[in-house]
Amino acid sequence: KAGVTQTPRYLIKTRGQQVTLSCSPISGHRSVSWYQQTPGQGLQFLFEYFSETQRNKGNFPGRFSGRQFSNSRSEMNVSTLELGDSALYLCASSSERGTDTQYFGPGTRLTVL
Amino acid sequence: QKEVEQDPGPLSVPEGAIVSLNCTYSNSAFQYFMWYRQYSRKGPELLMYTYSSGNKEDGRFTAQVDKSSKYISLFIRDSQPSDSATYLCAMKPSGGSYIPTFGRGTSLIVHP
């Protein structure tokens, strides 16, 4: 079974631009969560989607948004990029909500110049 | 004070050593405790999962939870260079939000 895939793997953007990241969960998984990982803050939860609905949201500004499609694929969008948005963005999928076996993708490395 | 504290290291040990990785936490509601391993340029991979207090063993790995001290540990026996990675602890309460709180990770280097 294929793992979680994330595209693109690397991105370089400039301040003020916007970016869209994509995540394809493991086949059959319906829950997708997004995390931001930085050396200073570690892994921080962004949001969780299940059955196309946002179920939980972390403490991030409204510039960070996401959505989930009927095939469980998910996208996250960051508008008006800031230097501090440079991070590894990780997507994790699980079969149902609340299961502890979250499978992480390799992440998208975003650099904002 | 962060909810979950984890020494970032790096922790450098010789091959074959017993490694002890630790996290402390402040939220007494945490009931589920996880350890993830993250190799460079990869996503985290779930290693161990325990509920409440006690020990759990899986091969060379042992997870230990002491809720009275709000302290969890991961022991790695007969460490190998392939164990070199960042180890993240994570925990969450029962019920309510399904979202775990992660430690910042400890970088482990096992040298031959």
More confident residue, B54 or A33: A33
Residue at token pair 């026996």: B77
Residue among A11, A10, A15, A17 at smallest CA distance from A82:
A15
Residue among A93, A78, A62 at smallest CA distance from A19:
A78
The token duo for B66 is: 């002491």
* Minimum-distance CB partner of B45 among A42, A44, A104: A104
Residues B60-77 have pLDDT tens digits of 999 999 999 999 999 999
User: CB distance from A101 to chain B under 8 Å?
Assistant: yes
Residues of chain A short of pLDDT 70, as ranges, are: 1, 98-100
pLDDT of B63 = 97
Residue at token pair 């990780």: A90
- Nearest 5°: the CA angle A93, A97, A102 is 35
pLDDT of B92 = 87
Contacts of B45 in chain A (CB under 8 A): 104
B83 backbone dihedrals φ, ψ, rounded to 5°: -80, -10
Which residue, among A23, A26, A37, A88, would best test binding to B if mutated, counting the most B CBs under 10 Å from its CB?
Answer: A37
Average pLDDT, chain B: 92
Contact B32 A56 (CB under 8 A): no
pLDDT of A96 = 76
* Minimum-distance CB partner of A100 among B34, B42, B102: B34
pLDDT of B96 = 65
What residues contact A89, with CB distance under 8 A and at least 6 apart? A6, A21, A34, A35, A36, A37, A46, A76, A107, A108, A110
* B88-93: average pLDDT: 91
Cα pseudo-dihedral A87, A91, A92, A96, rounded to 10: 140
User: CB distance from A60 to chain B under 8 Å?
Assistant: no
What residues contact B2, with CB distance under 8 A and at least 6 apart? none
In the structure, what pLDDT confidence band is assigned to residue B20 with cuts at 50, 70 and 90?
very high
Q: Is B10 exposed, middle or buried (0-12, 13-18, 19+ CB in 10 A)?
A: exposed
pLDDT of A2 = 79
* B11-18: average pLDDT: 97
pLDDT of B57 = 95
* B91-96: average pLDDT: 80
pLDDT of A100 = 60
Residue at token pair 């405790």: B33
Instruction: List residues bridging with A12 in a β-sheet.
Output: A111
Residues B21-39 have pLDDT tens digits of 999 999 998 999 999 999 9
User: CB distance from A90 to chain B under 8 Å?
Assistant: yes
pLDDT of A23 = 98
